[in-house]
């Protein structure tokens, strides 16, 4: 194991004492196999206890440690130091207000996530003693990829449309709406439609695809949104035919 | 929130995108580059092409290609305008879709005159 000295330039902002955000540099003795999160933990444990950031699992499952590393939205636990030069710049995820240091305010996303009803809406509630809902492998495959989302918000940080249009429902929430729409146990598509197929829903997306590039779980939100655009466009046009759903 | 009518231009945009990706490069080669570098000899002469386009089926196909490509371009420009920070979606839509409508009408007239 070899050791390497890394210069971490971390954006600091403590609203009660700092007028505006500023960069603080820490010189951290790092092991070669460390990730950026390990370096931050070293700072927190050994150098500066006042530094605030979110993290929990250290294994790309919890989605807490999203931050901009050298300007790119990344999970700090998935950003290996061996892929970086000696100097690494760490900032909170862009497109969100800063709560404190690297911690962002997530309220906007949480509200949008709730608005798309991200849970199974069954045709009929089934009592537990009637057993599980069964699904074929093909039915599982239809939505599994979109169910891998860990709400890390890297996609919102990368999305140029969300940066321009704050009301945009955004990649993760729309991909999760698609995840439930594609689930054979769910009949909630029309209940989600008034948000998903609205002006601020899928139609605000111009298919830049940055969300899918930065997604650490290969959810491909851009692909999900394209699929929803097609089904919603068909819905919209057929709604004018006799017998169509309005 | 109401369902958005953007579904309509998006369908034209999506269809036009497919046409532009698959057919337009070949059309440009056959009608623009190939005759210029002397490929196919007289097969692409004015008289032959005029007779070819006189066929109703060919007219219909050409109409589809040109109209869809025009609506694709219009919608792309609308999105570009938004990306460039122009915050007047209504006015932009009227201009770009208006141009696409004029181009569509002009195509119909031109094809009918052949």
H helices of B1-114, in order, are: 7-22, 24-28, 34-36, 46-53, 56-83, 89-113
Domains and CATH numbers, chain B: 7-113 (1.20.1300.10)
Task: Please give the average per-residue pLDDT across A78-106, as a whole number.
Answer: 97
* Burial B67-82, CB ≥16 within 10 A → b, else e: bbbbbbbbbbbbbebb
- Chain A residue at shortest CA distance from B77: A206
Between A126 and A112, the more confident residue is A112
pLDDT score of A19 more than 90: yes
Which has the closest alpha carbon to A211: A220, A224, A199, A202?
A220
Q: Does B4 touch chain A (CB under 8 A)?
A: yes
Residues B43-94 pLDDT 10s: 888 888 899 999 999 999 999 999 999 999 999 999 999 888 888 989 999 9
pLDDT category, A113, cuts 50, 70, 90? very high
The Cβ-side half-sphere exposure at A233, using a 13 Å CA radius, reads 18
Angle, helices A221-238/B7-22, rounded to nearest 10 degrees = 120
What is the pLDDT averaged over residues A23-36?
Answer: 97
Q: Does position B21 have pLDDT exceeding 90, yes or no?
A: yes
A198 touches chain B (CB under 8 A): yes
Query: Is there a contact between A186 and A178 (Cβ–Cβ < 8 Å)?
Result: no
Q: Does A231 touch chain B (CB under 8 A)?
A: no
ipTM for the predicted complex comes to: 0.77
pLDDT tier, A167 (very low <50, low <70, confident <90, very high otherwise): very high
Domains of chain A: 3-104 (3.10.20.30), 107-238 (1.10.1060.10)
Contacts with A232 from chain B: Cβ below 8 Å:
3, 7
Mean pLDDT of chain A: 95
Select from A197, A206, A237 the Cβ nearest to the Cβ of B83.
Answer: A206
Q: Most A CBs within 10 Å: which of B2, B6, B82, as the mutation test of the A interface?
A: B6
Instruction: Check residue B35 and give its pLDDT.
Output: 84
């Amino acid at each position: 194991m070899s050791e390497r000295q890394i210069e971490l330039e971390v954006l600091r902002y403590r609203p009660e004492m700092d007028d505006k955000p500023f960069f603080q540099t820490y010189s951290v003795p790092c092991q070669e196999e460390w990730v950026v999160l390990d370096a931050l933990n070293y700072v927190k444990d050994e150098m500066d206890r006042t530094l605030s950031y979110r993290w929990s699992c250290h294994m790309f499952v919890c989605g807490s440690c999203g931050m901009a590393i050298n300007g790119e939205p990344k999970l700090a636990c998935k950003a290996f130091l061996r892929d970086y030069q000696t100097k690494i710049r760490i900032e909170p995820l862009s497109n969100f207000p800063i709560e404190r240091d690297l911690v962002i305010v997530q309220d906007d996303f949480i509200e949008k996530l709730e608005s798309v009803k991200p849970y199974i809406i069954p045709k009929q509630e089934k009592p537990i003693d009637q057993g599980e809902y069964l699904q074929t492998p093909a039915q599982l495959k239809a939505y599994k990829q979109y169910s891998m989302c860990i709400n890390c918000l890297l996609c919102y940080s990368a999305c140029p449309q969300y940066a321009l249009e704050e009301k945009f429902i955004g990649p993760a929430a729309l991909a999760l709406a698609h995840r439930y729409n594609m689930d054979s146990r769910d009949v909630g598509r029309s209940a989600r439609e008034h948000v998903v197929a609205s002006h601020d829903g899928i139609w605000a997306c111009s298919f830049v695809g940055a969300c899918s590039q930065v997604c650490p779980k290969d959810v491909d939100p851009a692909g999900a949104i394209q699929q929803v655009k097609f089904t919603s466009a068909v819905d919209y046009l057929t709604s004018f035919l006799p017998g169509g759903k309005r | 929130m109401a369902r958005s009518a953007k579904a309509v231009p998006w369908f034209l945009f999506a269809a036009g995108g497919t046409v532009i990706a698959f057919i337009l490069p070949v059309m440009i080669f056959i009608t623009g580059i190939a005759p210029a570098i002397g490929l196919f000899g007289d097969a692409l002469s004015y008289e032959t092409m005029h007779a070819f386009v006189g066929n109703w089926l060919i007219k219909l196909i050409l109409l589809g290609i040109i109209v869809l490509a025009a609506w694709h371009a219009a919608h792309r420009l609308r999105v570009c305008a938004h990306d460039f920070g122009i915050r007047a979606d209504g006015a932009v839509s009227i201009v770009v879709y208006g141009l696409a409508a004029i181009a569509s009408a002009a195509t119909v007239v031109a094809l009918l005159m052949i």
